[in-house]
Amino acid sequence: MKPALLASPGHKNSLIFWVDEQMHVQHANDTALSMLGMESADVIGKPMATLLVAGSRKRLEQAREGQRLLMELCRADGQRLWVAYSVQPGSRELNTLSTHTATPLESPDLGELLNERIQAERRNIHDELFGSISHNVNNLLTTILSPAQLLLKNTHDPQVREEVSEILQATQRARTLLRDMYRSVRCKPEPLEPLSLASLLSDVTVNPMVRGVQVQLTLPLLPPVLGVSEGLKTILFALLSNAAEAGAKTVNITAHHKNDRVELLVADDGSGIDAALLARLFEPFSTTKSRVGAGLSLATSRSRLMGWGGGLSASSTPAGATFTLNLQTAPASLSIPVRAQNKPQRRVLLVEDEPIVASTLKRVFSLCSVDIASTVNQAFQLFSPGKYDVILISLALSEMPGNKLATYLRDQDSKVSMLMLTGWRISIDDPRMRPFEDRIQKPIGNLVRVRQKLSEAIQRTRERRSQ
């Protein structure tokens, strides 16, 4: 089905481009063609970056929803056109294209341009610094989270199970915080899925870390909504935790459905929110002593919900605060998935130079015969074509990048499945993913999902070798 074009909020004289996931222009309005002095054939099917001056191309990669950037477009006559540039992301689930709007500027404010460029450089520095910190912390969380899940599975002692459950909850929160901070820095789109609010809220309200708050659910029959299950749980859990920190004893959760929207209201009887703070509540690190957890979580929660096509707002009275989550209903063509689980088997080569991480992952994949290579040389010695069903390679090997090792091994055995192990947030279209078929994100938060990935990789190898 041909992707739909979303209406643009730009000025009537704006240049508008509709762009696909590969950042190729699929349509442009008449104003864009006229002001660039081009024909449709000069624009349609071309990478959007080719229409920009070189200095603006890097900023295109960093463009965030709702952000106004000063950019330069290339005209057919070689002249440059200064524009205020903004991006409205599309949706794979709704089959819509991204909308890029460029409003011409008579004479750009050089002070604003300099400030925008300084902010872009700061984002680059923050991105690189956070990526490095995230990778190392995720390695540490892997050595906590995976053994704790295995211990919970293998013990029947009630006290041990309760204590391990608390370790898992705390570690999952740390993992989720890292991921949300990353998304806040990079503004990466997430794959959305249809969610049952009734089922999801049942999981949230029995969370053992929500103590001292009585949650009252009053939900009508609701359609599935678009979102990310774990992400929405995290947002709701943060709101309940913030309510507890504000002295709330009761939280009422209600909802109503109208047209293609569902509004979820989370109302507490805590201390409320000061009017001065309420105006900037969703700015990063805005907080009060009574709601110390709100500083980052509310800003990232709102940004995340907006990325799903929804939103988050707040109101307050002396009797307490109310947060309203606006969610988009899932299209009828999408159904809540039920995933089959297979038992992975056969031989696995794990290339990981962090011993404690390698040991932990070997236990996670205990249903397989796992050989561990802690160095590139050991990987070469263990490897031979046709020997392994899956090869897992850490991206951050000390001797050489994991993707280079994967490329070499792929040349020797084109039929074996290869998975990347990484503590960094790597998008599926990152060039480093080319020799890999999939990736496993550290720390491992869902053993079933990761084991299923391994099982699917084994199946792909078997199918290729049977042909």
Q: What are the domain boundaries of the chain?
A: 15-108, 115-186, 197-328, 347-466
Phi then psi for residue 348, to 5 deg, are -130, 135
Specify the pLDDT at position 245.
81
Question: Thinking of the domain 347-466, which architecture would CATH place it in?
Answer: 3-Layer(aba) Sandwich (3.40)
**Residue found by looking up tokens 């390698």 in the block:** 358
3-state secondary structure of 86: strand
| Nearest residue to 401 (alpha-carbon basis) of 369, 371, 424 | 424
CB 105, CB 83: distance < 8 Å:
yes
For residue 16, report the phi and psi dihedrals to the nearest 5 degrees. -125, 130
Number of Cβ atoms within 10 Å of the Cβ of 330: 23
pLDDT value of position 343: 44
DSSP readout, 196-229?
Answer: -HHHHHHHHHT-TT--S-EEEEE------EEE-H
> From first to last of its 467 residues, what are the pLDDT tens digits of the chain?
444 444 444 456 788 998 888 888 999 998 999 999 999 999 999 888 889 887 777 777 766 655 677 788 989 988 888 888 888 876 655 556 788 888 887 655 555 555 665 565 666 666 666 667 777 787 878 878 778 888 888 888 888 888 887 788 777 777 776 766 666 555 556 678 899 888 888 777 655 445 567 888 888 888 999 988 878 888 888 888 888 888 888 999 999 998 889 999 999 998 888 888 887 777 655 554 444 444 446 777 887 888 788 899 999 998 899 999 999 998 876 655 554 444 445 789 999 988 888 887 888 787 788 899 988 888 888 888 888 999 999 998 887 889 999 998 988 899 999 999 988 877 777 889 999 999 888 877 677 788 888 888 988 998 888 87
pLDDT at 8 (0 to 100): 44
pLDDT, position 289:
43
pLDDT of residue 22: 82
Q: Choose among 235, 321, 327, 326: nearest CA to 278.
A: 321
Nearest to 91 by CA among 308, 303, 259: 308
pLDDT (0 to 100) of residue 325: 94
Q: Which of 292, 223, 219 is nearest to 260 (CA)?
A: 223
Residue 191's pLDDT is what?
A: 75
| CA–CA separation, 332 and 216 (whole Å) | 29
* Straight-line distance from the first to the last Cα atom of the chain, in angstroms, rounded to the nearest whole number: 32
d(CA 345, CA 350) in angstroms, rounded, equals 14
15-108 architecture in CATH? 2-Layer Sandwich (3.30)
**CATH topology classification for 197-328:** Heat Shock Protein 90 (3.30.565)
* CA-only gyration radius of the chain, Å: 25
